[in-house]
Amino acid sequence: MHNNGGRQRGRSRWTGVMLILVASTIVLLQITGAWRPVGIVLEAMVRPVAMVTSDMTRGIGRFFETLGSLGRLSQDNQQLQQQVSDKTVELARLKEVEHENDLLRSQVGFQANQSLPLLGAHVMAYAGDNARRTLVIDRGSRDGVAPGQAVVSSGSLVGKIERVTDGTAVVFLVSDPEFRVQAISQTDRARGIIRGQLGTGLRLEQVAQSDQLTVKDTILTAGSDRVPKGILIGQVETIDRSDNELFQAANVRSSLNMSRLELVFVIKQ
């Protein structure tokens, strides 16, 4: 142990002495001007290493800078995607509002001419199977809806309220084969009964042979029960007349597509 300690102290003294000699030599060379050639050589040796180290440092710096930029770009992209999504939702909402406003505007003229109390309702469901043709609307007895009331859309007859709950009602459509309502032609005042058909269109029946029917004449409600007079039903397309029959009939087309209705109005009377 003692010998090892002595050797370590000896090496430390020699290291110190060598450092002093080197430092003294450098100082002496600088004083005498002889250091300049040595410095040039050392600088030439060290410069490539320094340049490589500097380039590596800049490269590493640019690498981490690129990583930071990519992170910011990803965050900005997510924000832009969210903004696009928000704008898409808002545009869809505005289009729906505009569509509903168009439906409401189409009803304004009818309400002004008829002076009828109207209650707007959204269509919740449509049933158009071979058995029955009905709509379900989101208004019920608590809104003043009652069986027998007429339902219209864009001034045309949709049907009549068949049954109600507190918050919903079933509309019996004019296109149902079992539907019946009294009707009158606008020009010649021919009277008859409108009913639905299994195919498309409506049927005007029980029109007296003495009455005049004209193709493209407008058919209106004649007024009965809780269905007011003068509501548009449709236009005459074809006429079926035979001298051997007691009555004549006509095929009538409604302007409404019952399966695509979204907003209807109940006439509360």
Q: Is the pLDDT of residue 70 over 60?
A: yes
Please report the pLDDT score of residue 154 as a whole number. 87
Q: Is the pLDDT of residue 83 over 80?
A: no
For all residues of the chain together, what is the average pLDDT?
80
* Residue closest to 201 by CA, chosen among 176, 184, 181, 180: 176
Mean pLDDT of 87-95: 61
Task: Please give the residue that has the higher pLDDT: either 263 or 27.
Answer: 263
| CA angle, 19 then 25 then 29, to 5° | 150
Please report the pLDDT score of residue 86 as a whole number. 66
Q: What is the share, in percent, of the chain residues with pLDDT greater than 90?
A: 44
Please report the pLDDT score of residue 259 as a whole number. 87
Please report the pLDDT score of residue 171 as a whole number. 96
Please report the pLDDT score of residue 81 as a whole number. 74
Task: Please give the residue that has the higher pLDDT: either 92 or 219.
Answer: 219
Q: What is the pTM of this model?
A: 0.61
Please report the pLDDT score of residue 198 as a whole number. 77
Please report the pLDDT score of residue 116 as a whole number. 82
Other CB atoms within a 10 A radius of the CB of residue 173 amount to 27
Residue with tokens 């100082």: 27
Q: Is the pLDDT of residue 176 over 70?
A: yes
- Give pLDDT tens digits for 191-225: 999 999 877 789 999 999 999 999 999 999 999 88
C-alpha 171, offset from chain centre: 28
- Give pLDDT tens digits for 115-171: 788 899 999 999 876 668 899 999 999 999 999 999 999 889 999 999 999 999 999
Phi and psi angles of residue 159, each rounded to the nearest 5 degrees, phi first: 165, -155
Please report the pLDDT score of residue 79 as a whole number. 75
pLDDT band, very low/low/confident/very high, at 54 (cuts 50, 70, 90): low
Please report the pLDDT score of residue 140 as a whole number. 96
Task: Please give the residue that has the higher pLDDT: either 38 or 65.
Answer: 65
Q: Is the pLDDT of residue 96 over 60?
A: no
pLDDT band, very low/low/confident/very high, at 235 (cuts 50, 70, 90): very high
In the chain, the N- to C-terminal Cα span, in Å, equals 120
Least confident of 18-22, 220-224, 259-263: 18-22
pLDDT band, very low/low/confident/very high, at 17 (cuts 50, 70, 90): low
Q: CA-CA distance, 251 to 236, in Å (whole number)? A: 6
Please report the pLDDT score of residue 92 as a whole number. 58
